Amino acid sequence: MKTLNKVAAVTLLFWLMKITATTLGETLGDFISMTLNLGYAVGIGITLLFFIIIITIQLNVKKYIPVIYWLVIIGTTTLGTEISDFIDRTLKIGYLLGSLILVSGLQTTLFLWYKKYNTLEVYPVFERNKEIFYWMAILFSNSLGTAFGDYLSDNLRYSYLAGAVITGVIILIVVLLHYFTKINHVLLFWVAFVFTRPFGATFGDFLTKPILKGGLNLSTLYASLISLGLLFLMIIISHQKQKKELDLQN
């Protein structure tokens, strides 16, 4: 039986969905731990349970199914928010050291991935073990991005909007490097992937934090529902695009 690709192609739609999912992960994570006042440890428990369920489904389907794939991304962004906040705030390790710990985790995952497959190509992915490396790297990336976004706003004292602009500029530079230089595209992918997370984190905080702190003071629930609605609209577009491609192949 033919083995089918399991993950999303890296296109403009992919990056738009990733940024929306990271914003959702930030606001939904804050809704669970802060708005509902459940705390970061309980937040990790809830989001970890969701992540385990959806990643199990993802690993057992035979091909790329957009709604399942992006639910896993939501799971990693939300769980990443809780993990980062737990490390930084509950354990009092701090954003800088917390970021360094998560960087080490990401580097280790990518090193083991490369050692086994001699490549870090993120598309297509067919093999189950390679897909596990893929999702581990994504979870570390999303946790790291949360810590770095909080570091910009809390330690460096940038406003949430300024933090979003800074990370947005970094992402733009990476895009330009991709199109106009010969820098390894896999390296640029992971740099962009990491920095879309602090962009989403700072933009999510910009939407929900009090006006006196530089935010728009939107409810974390409403901000999450808006992001979720936008993401599912793009998931529908992704399903329709996939159907057209399959029709053309047949």
- Express each pLDDT in 147-188 by its tens digit: 777 677 677 777 777 877 888 888 889 888 988 888 888 888
How many CA atoms lie less than 13 Å away from 147 in the CB half-sphere?
27
36-66: pLDDT as tens digits: 888 888 889 999 999 999 999 999 999 999 9
Write the CA distances from 25 to 133, 165, 180, integer angstroms.
21, 19, 32
pLDDT (0 to 100) of residue 1: 46
Split at pLDDT 50, 70, 90, the class of 134 is very high
C-beta atoms surrounding 180 within 10 Å: 8
Phi-psi category of 94—alpha, beta or left, where left has phi over 0 and alpha has psi -120 to 50? Answer: left
pLDDT, residue 87, reads 80
Mean per-residue pLDDT, 196-211: 80
pLDDT for 225-244, tens place per residue?
Answer: 999 999 999 999 998 988 88
Q: Report the distance separating Cα 90 and Cα 225, nearest Å.
A: 27
Query: What pLDDT shows up at residue 160?
Result: 74
pTM assigned to the model: 0.87
Domain ranges of the chain: 12-249
List C-alpha distances in Å: 215 to 23, 29, 67, 107, 157.
14, 17, 31, 33, 14
What percent of the chain has a predicted confidence (pLDDT) above 70? 96
Q: Is the pLDDT of residue 105 over 60?
A: yes
